């Protein structure tokens, strides 16, 4: 009897440990699940509002989300939704180094919100520093250690053959020394995809794969590695496009990319607006699906679909606008009307003439269209404000608007 009583807890504990180890293994497999080819990837740029101009010149196109910030979670949600719609498997984040472009905050937000959205999208890194110098093996290892510890273990980070994925923009390298440095720096722990150059196939050692980043060409294929397509290329500070946009060519290139069956089927780019290579929502190629013609084409795999172009400014939704309050001057209340083109998070805040915040009247996501808010002339503590001039500011993806109003006792 005693022996049987001892054995039962042992069996129970053994079974419980086996169950827990199996569960942990399954969770680890889910977190680091390896992707399978072919994969559709798009180069992604989380560097706004810093780069809405190039050399002081504004971008060429009228972006639907306006001059947005990459710190805005609503923008991130929209981008994730749009890339899912376009059947993009991997978004490749432009990364310039530790503490650059606020990426210590922006990259985690991309990863976390992808999981929160229930998206199948994965993220990889595009290592930009290699294109503007030759980092030493020690420098590469320091960056790779940071990326491995900070991002690579995230469930939304791309893995192939169990290894986290990194693309390298080695634009200034023309020989195999770059492949040697990266082989030594990664020590087989990363899936490395280098940018091609003359004679790249003869390098020893070889990286895991190769790609081209040259969006002035509409399509480029490197057999056995990648097929890359570009919608167009028109830098903000250049008078003429290097590659004109043509939606029929874009559809044809998508079909050719898919037919190639190359492992990596890449798009330059999702949102590089400074060079005018983006495919995200834009009034210049708006469609009745709301996603725009370029995302529609990817959704339909380059085949004719049901989407129709929306042409002309007159067909666009309501403008982003902040009206003069009414009545003005006012006592004790006044109405403030504003309009936004589409669903967006907005804040409407009142300040005194010294710039001190008096009260936030709206801080939420609202639908596109016309809206109004009533201000009762009281501050955040419910105290009636003194007579004088006040500033009210509307802020959203689409920009910032300010107006003055006057309260009279």
CB 379 within 8 A of CB 385: yes
Residue 117: how many other CB atoms lie within 10 Å: 15
Between 349 and 3, the more confident residue is: 349
Q: Is residue 384 part of a domain?
A: yes
Verify that 160 and 247 share a domain, yes or no: yes
Instruction: Show which of 280, 314, 348 is a domain's final residue.
Output: 314
pLDDT in tens, 363-373: 988 877 889 99
Q: Is residue 15 part of a domain?
A: no
Verify that 273 and 371 share a domain, yes or no: no
pTM over 0.85, yes/no: no
Instruction: Show which of 290, 314, 338 is a domain's final residue.
Output: 314
CA-nearest of 141, 138, 163, 168 to 153 is 163
Distance between CA 291 and CA 279 in Å, rounded? Answer: 10
Q: Is residue 115 part of a domain?
A: yes
Quick one: 22 exposed, middle or buried, by C-beta within 10 A (0-12, 13-18, 19+)?
exposed
| Mean pLDDT, residues 304-320 | 61
Q: Is residue 4 part of a domain?
A: no
pLDDT, mean over the chain? 89
Sorted by sequence, the CB contacts under 8 Å of residue 4 that are 6+ apart come out as none
CA-nearest of 54, 59, 88 to 291 is 88
Verify that 287 and 151 share a domain, yes or no: yes
Verify that 34 and 132 share a domain, yes or no: yes
Sorted by sequence, the CB contacts under 8 Å of residue 187 that are 6+ apart come out as none
Distance between CA 110 and CA 107 in Å, rounded? Answer: 5
Residue 251: how many other CB atoms lie within 10 Å: 21
Residue 9: predicted pLDDT: 52
CA-nearest of 162, 226, 158, 211 to 188 is 162
With cut-offs at 50, 70 and 90, classify the pLDDT of residue 143. very high
CB 346 within 8 A of CB 395: yes
**Least confidently predicted of 218-222, 352-356, 381-385:** 352-356
Residue 331: predicted pLDDT: 93
Distance between CA 298 and CA 273 in Å, rounded? Answer: 19
Domain that residue 162 falls in: 29-314
Instruction: Show which of 282, 314, 346 is a domain's final residue.
Output: 314
**Least confidently predicted of 20-29, 298-307, 324-333, 376-385:** 20-29
Verify that 310 and 336 share a domain, yes or no: no
* CATH number of the domain where residue 169 is located: 3.20.20.80
CB 363 within 8 A of CB 307: no
Q: Is residue 11 part of a domain?
A: no
User: To the nearest whole percent, how much of the chain has pLDDT over 90?
Assistant: 73
First to last CA, the chain: 92
Q: Is residue 21 part of a domain?
A: no
Q: Is residue 207 part of a domain?
A: yes
CB 341 within 8 A of CB 353: no
With cut-offs at 50, 70 and 90, classify the pLDDT of residue 318. low
Torsion of CA 75, 215, 290, 57, to 10 degrees: 60
Verify that 361 and 287 share a domain, yes or no: no
Verify that 149 and 212 share a domain, yes or no: yes
Angle ∠(298,253,167) on CA atoms, nearest 5: 75
Give me the number of domains the chain comprises: 2
Residue 68: predicted pLDDT: 85
pLDDT in tens, 260-306: 999 999 999 999 999 999 999 998 998 888 899 999 999 999 997 76
- DSSP per position, 224-272: TTEEEE-S-B--TT-SS-SB---HHHHHHHHHHHHHHT-SEEEES-SS-
| Mean pLDDT, residues 66-82 | 92
pLDDT in tens, 223-262: 999 999 999 999 999 999 999 999 999 999 999 999 999 9
| 3-class DSSP assignment, residue 21 | helix
Does the structure show a pLDDT above 70 at 174? yes
Verify that 52 and 112 share a domain, yes or no: yes
Does the structure show a pLDDT above 90 at 217? yes
Q: Is residue 296 part of a domain?
A: yes
pLDDT in tens, 24-58: 444 444 456 799 999 999 999 999 988 888 998 88
* CATH number of the domain where residue 342 is located: 2.60.40.4070
Verify that 330 and 299 share a domain, yes or no: no
Verify that 39 and 169 share a domain, yes or no: yes
Q: What is the DSSP letter of 146?
A: H
Distance between CA 330 and CA 408 in Å, rounded? Answer: 6
Q: Would you say the C-alpha torsion 213, 215, 216, 218 has a positive or negative sign?
A: positive
Residue 311: predicted pLDDT: 56
Verify that 340 and 393 share a domain, yes or no: yes
Verify that 332 and 370 share a domain, yes or no: yes
Does the structure show a pLDDT above 60 at 409? yes
């Amino acid at each position: 009897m005693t022996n049987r009583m001892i054995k039962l807890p042992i069996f129970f504990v053994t079974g419980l440990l086996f169950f827990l180890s199996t569960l942990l293994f399954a969770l680890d497999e889910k977190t680091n699940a390896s992707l399978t080819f072919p994969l559709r990837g798009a180069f992604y740029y989380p560097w706004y509002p810093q780069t809405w101009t190039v050399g002081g010149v504004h971008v060429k196109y009228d972006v639907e989300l306006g001059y947005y910030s990459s710190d805005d979670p609503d923008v991130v949600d929209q981008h994730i939704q749009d890339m899912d719609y376009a059947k993009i498997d991997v978004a490749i984040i432009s990364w310039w180094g530790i503490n650059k472009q606020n990426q210590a905050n922006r990259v985690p937000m991309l990863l976390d919100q992808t999981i929160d959205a229930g998206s199948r999208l994965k993220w990889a890194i595009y290592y930009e520093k290699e294109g503007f110098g030759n980092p030493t093996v020690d420098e590469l290892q320091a960056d790779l250690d940071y990326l491995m510890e900070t991002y690579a273990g995230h469930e939304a980070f791309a893995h192939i053959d169990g290894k986290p994925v990194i693309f390298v923009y080695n634009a200034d390298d023309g020989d195999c020394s770059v492949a040697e440095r990266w082989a030594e720096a990664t020590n087989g722990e990363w899936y490395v995809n280098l940018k091609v150059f003359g004679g790249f196939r003869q390098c020893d050692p070889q990286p895991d794969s190769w790609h081209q980043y040259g969006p002035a060409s509409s399509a480029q294929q490197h057999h056995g590695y990648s097929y890359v397509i570009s919608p167009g290329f028109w830098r903000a500070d250049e008078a003429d496009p290097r590659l004109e946009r043509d939606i029929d060519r874009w559809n044809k290139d998508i079909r050719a990319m898919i037919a190639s069956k190359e492992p990596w089927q890449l798009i330059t780019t999702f949102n590089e607006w400074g060079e005018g290579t983006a495919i995200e929502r834009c009034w210049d190629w708006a469609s009745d699906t709301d996603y725009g013609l370029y995302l529609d084409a990817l959704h339909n795999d380059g085949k004719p679909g049901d989407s129709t172009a929306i042409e002309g400014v007159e067909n666009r939704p309501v403008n982003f606008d902040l009206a003069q309050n009414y009545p003005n001057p006012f006592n004790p209340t006044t109405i403030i009307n504003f309009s936004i083109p589409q669903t967006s998070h907005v804040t409407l805040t009142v300040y005194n003439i010294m710039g001190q915040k008096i009260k936030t009247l709206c801080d939420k996501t609202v639908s596109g269209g016309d809206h109004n808010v009533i201000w009762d002339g009281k501050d955040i503590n419910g105290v009636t404000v003194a007579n004088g001039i006040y500033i009210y500011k509307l802020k959203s993806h689409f920009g910032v608007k300010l107006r003055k109003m006057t309260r009279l006792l």
